[in-house]
Structure 1
Amino acid sequence: MGLATLGLAACTRVDGGEDEEGASTLERLREQGFVAIGLANEIPFGFVDESGEPAGQSPAVARAVFEELGVPEVQASPVNWDGLIPGLKSNRFDVIAAGMFITPERCEQVAFTEPTATSPEAFLVREGNPENIQHFTDFADNGDITVAVLNGSVEQTYAEHFGAQNIQLIDNQTAGYEMLESGRVDAVSMLSVSHEYLLKDRGGPFEVTEPFFPEIDGKEEKGWGGLCVRQQDSAMLEEMNRVIAEFKESGRLLELGEEWGFTEADLPDDTTTAELCEG
């Protein structure tokens, strides 16, 4: 999985927005020849592979978009999930490429592109699913079982909303897998495609539960992920959205995700980032 390469480019620091001469971020990236992306080592959304290169659906989209914009190289800064937005805002990297879901709370801090992919929720559980875990409500009904969720994730929000009694916050996907393996938790909550790809990669006596979209106040919570940039980088965001729209129209967006287990069902519909930011 290449997770031993955590910290690659971790000391890289970039300048956000416009510099003293008024040059845009995109102009600076073109001049330096690379874009620094932040990711959280979540397979298959965004991680560092065994050769130390950024991999996964979101970095693939970022690489292709910036190649179209005249920036030929992508460099990765792996951080814990809850460090992504702070890292972007503190100019540690220029783009978050981690499949981050677009939510009103996050829109107050960063600027998202239009959606690039979705995936339903699911749980990674022990083979045979001995606790019959299917939904977040199961952790509200049974105080003897524990669910692991990424700190700062939408899964944490769901678990808390549905009243889960025992929640274990984790920093990354690997930590959840290892806690399930050691019996410290009964399930790990992430997106279905993340579990499927990790299980394919690492194996183990586990299975993925039936995928679902949680329903809150009568509304299906179908989350959409996208790339995100600093709010002041509006000119670059506009160009990124232009390319993403072209990719969606041409079928390139599907091609970029297929290697990582994404299908046509995971492609964006007509939902816009503006709608998602409104909630």
Structure 2
Amino acid sequence: MARVLNMTKWAVLALSLGLMAACSDSESDSSATKPSAANNPPAEQSTLEAAKAAGKIRIGYANEAPYAYLDTSTNQITGEAVEIARVVLKRMGINEVEGVLTEFGSLIPGLQAKRFDIIAAGMYVTPERCQQAAFSNPTYGVGESFLVQQGNPKQLHSYEDVAKNDDIKLGVVVGAIESEYARKMDIPLDRVVVFPDVVSALSGVQAGRADAYAATAMTVNDLMKKSATADLEKAEPFTDPVIDGKSVRGYGAFAFRKDDQEFVDAFNAELAKFIGTEEHAKVVQPFGFTESELPGDVTAAKLCGADAQAGSQ
């Protein structure tokens, strides 16, 4: 009988130990599979957060004065867009701007590919571009102009003048809005000469590869001021193209990636406090901008239009 009792005690003890071991293993497995805060990957920083943390940001530009270009005397990028960006970004806690030189037509693809985080190139806001990038509110508004040979021998004072003469070739920079103006003004594609940059376009007019170079009035003014050649001039007077019943006026702004709306909103908040102030006037005056080029109450939302807004949803 004692032996039976002892065996029973041992059986109970073994069962108890087994249950304890099972409970211990279960708790161990649970703790092993339970995710800990230390094992969780950190949340990815937004572009704005990353820029503030680093204290710097990369901007894409196309070397087109007076908007954004390399000043060879200082080896620093400057221009209307660059200097405004410096002021606004500094107010946001981002003190350093690093420039990435890119052909104008490759600016939006470069932004999307994250080669840089902002386009600071005086880029016009258009509904088509709003499908691909998020724009700040504009910093300026300006009309068009032609750069022609001295004396304007072909008498080119408008896009209409180019369209009605089958012998005229119009020069534009790749990716610039002027190629779109030419298309909408019914200038045949085979009479539009596309150049990679402003310097090439200037040389093209000098060499006769194009009879006129179409650009913003500010670009042509800057070229005339800085060009050492006496064989070119600004076509005056000049009539802006009328498209969809309206005389065009381009509005330039900064472009961001579509998923950086937080950045755009923060940038716009500081931009609104700056545009039109005395400080703004002093910053842009060296680049030929005056009160006449202020954008007024024009916003990116107005320029993008309802179709672009719907497409961005």
The two structures have a TM-score, normalised by structure 2, of: 0.80
* Residue of structure 2 equivalent to 1:146: 169
Which of the numbers 192, 217, 227 marks the counterpart of 1:192? 217
Give the distance between the partners of 2:227 and 2:247, measured in 1 at CA: 31
Q: Secondary structure at the match of 1:82?
A: helix
* Residue of structure 1 equivalent to 2:28: none
Which of the numbers 93, 98, 103 marks the counterpart of 2:121? 98
Q: Which amino acid is 1:33 matched to?
A: G
* Residue of structure 2 equivalent to 1:265: 292
Q: Which amino acid is 2:83 matched to?
A: A
Please report how far the alpha carbon of residue 37 of structure 1 lies from its aligned counterpart in structure 2 after TM superposition: 0.5
Please report how far the alpha carbon of residue 269 of structure 1 lies from its aligned counterpart in structure 2 after TM superposition: 0.9
Please report how far the alpha carbon of residue 191 of structure 1 lies from its aligned counterpart in structure 2 after TM superposition: 0.5
* Residue of structure 1 equivalent to 2:32: none
Q: Which amino acid is 2:197 matched to?
A: N
* Residue of structure 2 equivalent to 1:26: 48
1:218 has 2:250 as partner: no
Measured at CA, do residues 211 and 246 of structure 1 come closer, stay the same or move farther in structure 2, by a change above 3 Å? farther
Please tell me whether the aligned partners of residues 69 and 78 of structure 2 are also in contact (alpha carbons under 8 angstroms).
Answer: yes
Q: Which amino acid is 1:29 matched to?
A: A
Please report how far the alpha carbon of residue 160 of structure 1 lies from its aligned counterpart in structure 2 after TM superposition: 1.2
Moved over 4 A (4+): none
Please tell me whether the aligned partners of residues 54 and 74 of structure 1 are also in contact (alpha carbons under 8 angstroms).
Answer: no
Please tell me whether the aligned partners of residues 143 and 248 of structure 2 are also in contact (alpha carbons under 8 angstroms).
Answer: no
Give the distance between the partners of 2:149 and 2:277, measured in 1 at CA: 40
In the alignment, structure 1 segments of 5+ residues that lack a partner are 1-18
Give the distance between the partners of 2:282 and 2:124, measured in 1 at CA: 21
1:176 has 2:201 as partner: yes
Please provide the CA RMSD for this pair: 1.5
* Residue of structure 2 equivalent to 1:15: none
Please tell me whether the aligned partners of residues 170 and 214 of structure 2 are also in contact (alpha carbons under 8 angstroms).
Answer: yes
What is the CA deviation profile of residues 41-86 of structure 1, one whole-angstrom value per residue up to 9, with x for unaligned ones? 1111111121331111011111111111111111111111100000
Q: Which amino acid is 1:187 matched to?
A: A
What is the CA deviation profile of residues 77-97 of structure 1, one whole-angstrom value per residue up to 9, with x for unaligned ones? 111110000000000001000
Give the distance between the partners of 1:240 and 1:201, measured in 2 at CA: 32
Q: Secondary structure at the match of 1:179?
A: helix
Measured at CA, do residues 105 and 65 of structure 1 come closer, stay the same or move farther in structure 2, by a change above 3 Å? same
Which of the numbers 55, 68, 81 marks the counterpart of 1:58? 81
Greater per-residue helix proportion:
2
Please tell me whether the aligned partners of residues 51 and 94 of structure 2 are also in contact (alpha carbons under 8 angstroms).
Answer: yes
Please tell me whether the aligned partners of residues 149 and 232 of structure 2 are also in contact (alpha carbons under 8 angstroms).
Answer: yes
Larger Rg: 2
Give the distance between the partners of 2:286 and 2:96, measured in 1 at CA: 20
Please report how far the alpha carbon of residue 125 of structure 1 lies from its aligned counterpart in structure 2 after TM superposition: 0.4
* Residue of structure 1 equivalent to 2:70: 48
Q: Secondary structure at the match of 1:227?
A: strand
Please report how far the alpha carbon of residue 272 of structure 1 lies from its aligned counterpart in structure 2 after TM superposition: 1.4
Q: Secondary structure at the match of 2:283?
A: helix
Please report how far the alpha carbon of residue 249 of structure 1 lies from its aligned counterpart in structure 2 after TM superposition: 4.9
Q: Secondary structure at the match of 2:148?
A: strand
* Residue of structure 1 equivalent to 2:155: 132
Q: Which amino acid is 2:136 matched to?
A: T
Instruction: Give the fraction of aligned pairs with identical amino acids, expressed as a percent.
Output: 34
Give the distance between the partners of 2:171 and 2:78, measured in 1 at CA: 24
